[in-house]
Structure 1
């Protein structure tokens, strides 16, 4: 192997995580309740991007467990905000809490606060008249 190839490989392994493109990204959530008259469009930030992963199909006996990680772009720091859904009757709780990503990291997906499955069937749109959330 050429020295350039070996140095490139080492550089990629050492600095791979820092080159990952995982960062807060703008996202619009559409929220509606059956009882309420309006759909609320909320502008927030979520964690999105590319993280370096390692193929877990390799020889598991020859590799360390840490070399088999499947990292995702997930929250490092976040806070929750609460919005009021307009047009709700008095017997309905008109509040919706949502996460705001402050910073992101590449790591294992935590199901305590993240949806770790990507569903392509679900859509993010309103079926009722839309109001924009102003905080």
Structure 2
């Protein structure tokens, strides 16, 4: 899983169509821009065969393990660290190529929340009856 995760995330666009040369941290009260060369930690989830970002973390909000409060039972999730690179990407909303758009650089897997380890829904035991 780790090799596929690293391969799938490397080169992924992490900005937004309106500002493709910057990314933001999900844990700031006010917007804080991250730029090329900055460390970015991502919480990602495997959905329909594709790793999708859940949260972006700047260096100040990085954690050592996948947050228990964010794990979901039955869904593979991971916490990875990377540096932002201005390698260019096709913007999801417009499908236009932006040559300096921020993407995920080399990926280091910090922690994994496996399918059978996440939090169970409070309804889980009720559903088995």
Q: TM-score, normalised by structure 2?
A: 0.25
**TM-score normalized by the length of structure 1:** 0.24
Structure number with larger C-alpha Rg: 1
Normalized per residue, which structure has more strand?
Answer: 1
